[in-house]
Structure 1
Amino acid sequence: GEDFELSCIEFGATNGNTTALEATITVYVDTDGGDPRAPGVDMEAIGTTTLELAGASGNVLLQASFDPPLCLGAGGTYVVEMGIPQATDGFASIAGNVGPDNQTFIRADDCGLNEYVSYASIGFDTQFWAQQLIGEAGCDGVVCDCYTGSDCFVPHEEPGCDDPICSATVCSFDQFCCDVTWDDSCSALAEAYCGVSGFPCDFPTATSTETEPCGQDTNGGCNMDVPAFESISVGDVVAGTYFADEIAEVRDTDWYEFTIEERSIVTWTVWSRVAVDNFIINDQCDDLLAIVAVGSGECPNVNTACLEAGTYRAFVAPVVDGNLPCDLPEFPEYVASLEAEPVDGCPGFDECAGGTESITPNSGLELTAGGISCAAGGITTENTWAVTIDLATGTTGGSDVSVSCVEFGVNNGGSAVPASVQLWIDTDGGDPVQPGVDLELIGTRETVAVTGVNLQRASFDPPICVPADSQLVVSLSMEPSTDGFATFGGNNLPSSSGTFILSDSCGLTTFTNLIDIGFPDINWVVDVEADLECGGGSDCTGDFNGDGVVDGADFGFILAAWGPCPGCPEDLDGNGTVNGADVGLLLAVWGPCP
């Protein structure tokens, strides 16, 4: 019921761009008191200020100050807006939490969002912008002190500070700070040692110790001018240390090299009291795109990958904002274990017979860009992606095509996710719309989207026969993730097909081209291995795909060949035209072949 004088706004932001961005914080009065639509429609600005979002800053809390302060009238509805320009090489956005809280809204002209829409309306109902207004009741024109952080970083007469963990850490170096007064040297110690946020973690017993002393760099691997690695064997449990120096811009990275003699499920587990990067990487420093797996979780952080026989590197490094000094108790320590279990095959990487033809819409199969997914709170919901391949062009023109294998890009930052690769015939030859509308299913392979950035393989045995000159659609469906962002793996190289997305949870109930939602330069990588004839299948009439059953998949062949088609196998009555008479003959032999 009182006016409120606004001096500062504390808010969350993130900037993955390598360079700084200028953010604009604007306060509006909402003239109709409802959900915001757009400035000039129902929003009138009453104050604005700018500030810098530092490059590669991660999730941070920032403060925007208003001097003179803004007077917010009693009973009014107000909107706080953060505007950021287009980034050049990273992701910049708000930072927040899962709430519950007041609704968060987004507006982005480049994505066709000319007016504000709520996060909840586009599938992010548990993601909220973190912010608070700082000021006082009544409008007297006096600016408030906006500092809301811990007094551990500010000298004061009383001993100790308001963060007991920081206070205990500082006083382990200088007891004077807890017995007499918290002076300049105490606040300096706090700046050096209290920037680390950690969590409890019980370490297992180690069987060996890292050879690199804390503060040195003898196993920095591919980050060194002359790469050096520390050897480790399957079964080892190593106790190690790492550090970070914010001023010197140094972060210790530990690289352990190991060899497996046969295909195995490899598990690299790290116990740590701070967050870590946990990777399993190939053995080529000039091709670090081949990070084959990424760890997840805090304590322990577990990373599992199915690997062929060969040599690999296990990587661990701290993820901290600021310093992680070697003499800080406990936090610079970790324990890591390497385990391997031999297996016959790797989930998500089928053994494929291959074919004489490699059919792809892409101009290159490099996986250099992550995909686009519907997600809520950073965890992906259900998603399906698709590309189209016109078999009437190139070397496949005029020939039936027998598909035995599909290679497809995956980019999964969480645990493995159940998935399926499906082959469809587009019955009208245009962009895909929706299964049952213009897409007839001819083949499915259940698989799993494994952790990391990978070109996976799905085998079709027996091969799927695709009628000559069809419009083939390849799709990848993933179930919701439990703990990460899972999407397709792609690149920004030219492609003869758009990449299409389908996700009911984001309101995308028909396949939508990524170009149409603001992502023109990201293409899913897909490569189809096939032969230019269909053979070796069933002699059963109507079993066009040779799977031993006359069913809906074979009916799809009839629809794809509909019309004049002399000599086509779908022309069951041999009159040169595929039509309703052939459908009747197909229905007469419906079911398992004799």
Structure 2
Amino acid sequence: MNGILSRILAVALMSLPISAARAQDDCGPDRPPCDEPHDGPGCLQPQCCELVCKIDVFCCEVVWDETCVEQAGELCGDVYCPDFGGCLEIHDTGGCLDETCCELVRMHDPFCGYGTWDEICVAEAESWCAGTVECPIVPPPNAREEGEPCLERLNDGCGGGAIEINASSIACGDAIYGKTTTKVPRDVDWFRLPETRDGPLVIRLETEFPARMLIVTGSCEGPISVLDRRPVDPCRNDEWVVDLPEGEYHLVVEAGADGRSLRSGLPCDEIDPKNPPDDDEEPLPRTYGLHYLLELACTAAPCPGDLNGDGMVDGVDLGLLFAAWGECTDVCPADFDGDGTVDGQDLGGLFVGWGGCP
């Protein structure tokens, strides 16, 4: 009873409004968690702390007691950042201590907030938190539009209960300027790969958002099998060489990371005519762009070492290899073994193929 009276008296003696600056001073990573009572005002998570202190100044002026904890439980169900644990370290709670990085990862991969900060969250933090977030793609003149508004689902494979695979076609030499979104149902773009192939396929993807490519086979009657997958970081481009046996295959482009599909953080940027927003409605937050550029090249049987494509492995190719010597910073044709460095192993690979290509 004395505690309650003391609390009432303390609040009565305080000026009721609390400034934003004062709330910020008492909220942040140097404070204990918001879901635990503790000596002193404020708590770890600034968003949650400020929500509570707007309605109960005692929590940011005097002490964060059991009442503050109860209010945090009612007001802060969707607030996960920051929280204890390094963003580049695996830990068994959600969130991490760097609020900006934590929010970027959690926004696109909610499991990293309400679940645990696992190895996938760590990999996402490593790839995204120090990277570029704005990189609008300018499609080349030969690129064609994917042709699927982000409010519709026209090439989503077996989504929506489809009996047959809904897919766009992509031919050798095509460049497709596409868009994806995590708006429910999540957008997944399927492309039917050419059935006639004389050699490996070279797939190039440039993306504004965290993306993932998958090679799949099968039918909507089941099973659909994923043969391989490859993540591409936002604001990067990647080249993927795949050599497939005879058969029918599809390439899937989706929002994703290595190990997990992304299901939030990329809202559609088009107005739904059937459900337009209110005049005062704030748009959903979005950090990354929604576009990608997909290109497909079909190659003949591989000729290791023929870097200039003249049908010969000779001194010209040797010079190109030495010009690219060292760590790769982008697409690196001279990196024959794909280890990210042009070195002696690649030089040996060039000499293995010396002479005329078969």
TM-score bracket, shorter-length normalisation: 0.3 to 0.5
Larger radius of gyration: 1
TM-score by length of 1: 0.28
More strand by share: 1
More helix as a share of residues: 2
